[in-house]
Structure 1
Amino acid sequence: MALLMDPGAGPLTEREKADLDAIAAIKESAAVEYKEKGNQFVKMGRKHYVDAVDCYTKAIAQMEPLQPGPCPDASVLFANRAHVNLLLGNHRRALDDANRAVQLSPSNVKAYYRAAKAAFALGLLPEAAFFCRRGLEQDPANEELKKLLAQVDAKQSEQDRHRAKVSQAVSAAKDLAAAIEKRGFTLGKAEYQELTGVKKPKLDEQGVLHWPVALLYPEVMSSDFIEDFPETDTFVPHLDAGSGTVLSKSEILKFLLEGTVDSKSLPESLLDEEDGENDAGKSSTITSSGEGSVKWINVKEGKTLQEVLQHKDFIIPAIPGFDFQFLH
């Protein structure tokens, strides 16, 4: 007797049909028993959630292979297992189970809710909104789905605002970096942050760079900090030019973005860009014969900040800093 008929096999006899019906009844009874045990384990608390998952899995096995088309009983089993997986924090498994439950019974509102909840926990906001709306089509008055959809929409709006902020910050930093590169400035690592904090140059609507500038007076042990020094302004002629390690293009962008957005939210492609000849790790210092690592640059009166910063030996230590020396 062949209880599992091969494709193309002849019609079943009355005896074979009766045997198959009996086997189906036994499997259905076993599935119901496993389901009820699973429900009891859920009621017993978290320590028994794994046992509940095992019972629902055994109940599903009794119903397989599931035929194409609606199967409300199987849908309930998958939805129940999704519920326990949610309680255990197994969000991916919960989403898979709830999605299967929806496929087996498109009217299973609990399955839509659990699918939406799992998707939301996984950060899959479009999918979460989809399941919420599909569930509300079945039950427009469902308060749980309405509340969850409101949370999903709020989170999506928050993410959209954050992405816009990051995009705006990156665009502004790239424009600023391009302006610095166009002028031939060499930007180095920060040296005056204990005095200036996290200050950055700014590019105005006319394309003029405005620098924060530190003015140091070693002989009298004092200093000044100018928060807005347009590059077109001039200042006194005798100053000590900066020196240090040259920043790569990606390091310049990181510096310009510091304090504007969370670095973790920046696109990896931005931080991994090729830097050409200015690869990270290369450095340059100003040296003079027999006089240490710094050499003096005499700037004629009337020089603008931009002209000074464009000096081939000047490495800007994040923001310009100058030591004024008094001539005797």
Structure 2
Amino acid sequence: MDPKPPEEDETMDQFMEKFRTQKYEKAFNEETWEEEFEKIPMFMKEVPDEIDPEKNPELACLQSMLFDVEEQAQSCKEEGNDYFKEKNYKKAITAYTEGIKKNCKDVELNAVLYTNRAAAQFHLGNYRSSLNDSIAARKQKPDHLKAVIRGALCYMEIKNYSEALKWCDEGLQISPTEKKLLETRTKADKLHRAAERDARKLKQAEKKKQAEKDSLFLAIKDRGIKLLEKSKKGDEDEDEETSGTVLNDISSSENVPGSQVVLDENGRLHWPVLFFYPEHSQTDFISAFHEDSRFIDHLNEMFSQDLPQWDTDQKYVAHNLEIFFEDETSQCFYQVDPESTLLEVLQHSRFCVKAGTPSFLIFVKKSTFCKTYFSDKKRQRIH
């Protein structure tokens, strides 16, 4: 490495000597450092009303930058307004958003930016976003009337009439003759009253429905009829018996949607009932089988004159039929006396109503199919 030239060493020595002997001109004075420190923009506690660029160039520069931010936000607002007039609401929202991002110190301008963006969101059907911007505008300036009006209109659209009334009242305190607020308040009050009235009617209807349901379950419980409910524990295929418990099972039949057991004005039950014909894979549905009706009466009516088309051999005649129900727990089939009433069968110790619909199997007496069907099954006659 080549040694430094003598003139460079001499220059360095002179610099170091000057550094040691001369005081830094811009250094803080030991006695007045607090006052000098206060003059630095970053540490100022108060900003003077008038700033002399020659005496305080740093603060003047910062002030200039601040005014630039406000000018940029103002420019974004004007750009958004132009898009809004053209009904290009998406671009208007983008412009207003850029203005809000400037974080300028002009509260009035910020309130306008939020309110204008709320208007653009409103025209796009974004009522929640519009409402949020209206709230944000009022945080900037609580008495900003356009923000109050926009917020009230948003609450009307989302059907929150109580809040719409509140915002209208707050706006009318600012401007008691504001036509839009007066009109909106009148409409909100009318709809609010209607909503409250509808809510009361619905509550009364639900109360009545629950009372009817409670009476229905009490009638079932008093009769000792067992209901079969899907187990809520373990295997979904497992069933459990219950009696007199409030179950969805009797409110609507799974087999026939919309059908359900009904308690009439005389306190008697009418059940939806299914008849299955395994030999032909056919079914019959009786929508209202009175609990005091006999099975033979229904069979006589069903197979008296017009025989079903699937009964090609015309074997299904009331007196020639056998009725069974299945006890799934014991896997035993119980034969029902046709002279029995529905209630007598439902009260049998081994009968359970499943899915809200009592179900029975119908066979032709001593038919080959009947013998084959029960060849590997247990069956028992009801005594």
Distance 1:32 1:192, change over 3 A: closer
Partner residue in 1 for 2:294: 235
Distance 2:122 2:191 in 1: 17
In the TM superposition, 1:197-276 aligns within 5 A as: 198-203=258-263, 208-212=267-271, 214=273, 225=286, 227=288, 229=290, 231=291, 233=292, 235=294, 240-243=323-326
Distance 1:26 1:164, change over 3 A: farther
Partner residue in 1 for 2:90: 50
In the TM superposition, 1:1-328 aligns within 5 A as: 2-5=40-43, 9-12=44-47, 14-15=50-51, 22-46=64-88, 49-64=89-104, 71-122=107-158, 124-137=160-173, 138-139=175-176, 141-142=179-180, 144-146=183-185, 149=188, 152-153=191-192, 154-155=194-195, 157-158=197-198, 161-162=201-202, 165-166=205-206, 168-170=208-210, 172-173=212-213, 176-177=216-217, 179-181=219-221, 183-187=224-228, 190=253, 193=256, 198-203=258-263, 208-212=267-271, 214=273, 225=286, 227=288, 229=290, 231=291, 233=292, 235=294, 240-243=323-326, 284=328, 287-288=331-332, 294-298=333-337, 305-316=342-353, 318-320=356-358
What amino acid is aligned across from residue 352 of structure 2 in structure 1? I
Distance 1:35 1:60 in 2: 9
Give the percent of matched residue pairs that are identical in Structure 1 and Structure 2: 23
Structure 1 residue 32, shift from structure 2 partner: 2.0
Distance 2:171 2:90 in 1: 28
Distance 1:155 1:110, change over 3 A: farther
* Kept in 1: contact 2:165–2:188 (CA 8 A): yes
Distance 1:95 1:136, change over 3 A: same
Structure exhibiting the larger radius of gyration computed from Cα positions: 2
* Kept in 2: contact 1:98–1:115 (CA 8 A): yes
Distance 1:52 1:117 in 2: 20
What amino acid is aligned across from residue 334 of structure 2 in structure 1? K
* Kept in 1: contact 2:227–2:352 (CA 8 A): yes
Structure 1 residue 155, shift from structure 2 partner: 4.9
* Kept in 1: contact 2:152–2:165 (CA 8 A): yes
What amino acid is aligned across from residue 185 of structure 1 in structure 2? K
Which structure 1 segments of 5+ residues have no match? 245-283, 289-293
Distance 2:254 2:330 in 1: 15
Distance 2:142 2:47 in 1: 33
Distance 2:64 2:322 in 1: 99
Name whichever of 312-321 and 159-168 sits farther off: 159-168
> Which structure is richer in relative contact order (CA contacts within 8 A, separation 6 or more)?
1
CA deviation digits over 1:246-281, x for unaligned, max 9? xxxxxxxxxxxxxxxxxxxxxxxxxxxxxxxxxxxx
Distance 1:198 1:225 in 2: 13
Distance 1:191 1:72, change over 3 A: closer
Partner residue in 2 for 1:291: none
Distance 1:172 1:181, change over 3 A: same
Distance 1:152 1:78, change over 3 A: farther
TM-score (norm 1): 0.60
Distance 1:35 1:58 in 2: 9
Partner residue in 1 for 2:308: none
Structure 1 residue 30, shift from structure 2 partner: 2.5
What amino acid is aligned across from residue 139 of structure 2 in structure 1? Q
DSSP-derived class of the 2:259 partner = coil
Distance 1:174 1:44, change over 3 A: farther
Distance 1:64 1:306, change over 3 A: farther
* Kept in 1: contact 2:110–2:137 (CA 8 A): yes
Structure 1 residue 91, shift from structure 2 partner: 2.9
Distance 1:87 1:104, change over 3 A: same
Which structure 2 segments of 5+ residues have no match? 1-38, 230-248, 297-320, 367-383
CA deviation digits over 1:149-188, x for unaligned, max 9? 1575245654554455456545644553455356342257
Distance 1:33 1:4, change over 3 A: farther
TM-score (norm 2): 0.53
Distance 2:274 2:60 in 1: 99
* Kept in 2: contact 1:243–1:315 (CA 8 A): no
Distance 1:155 1:227, change over 3 A: same
Distance 1:10 1:111 in 2: 34
Cα RMSD of the aligned pairs, angstroms, is: 4.4
Distance 1:176 1:326 in 2: 35
Distance 2:287 2:80 in 1: 71
* Kept in 2: contact 1:99–1:111 (CA 8 A): yes
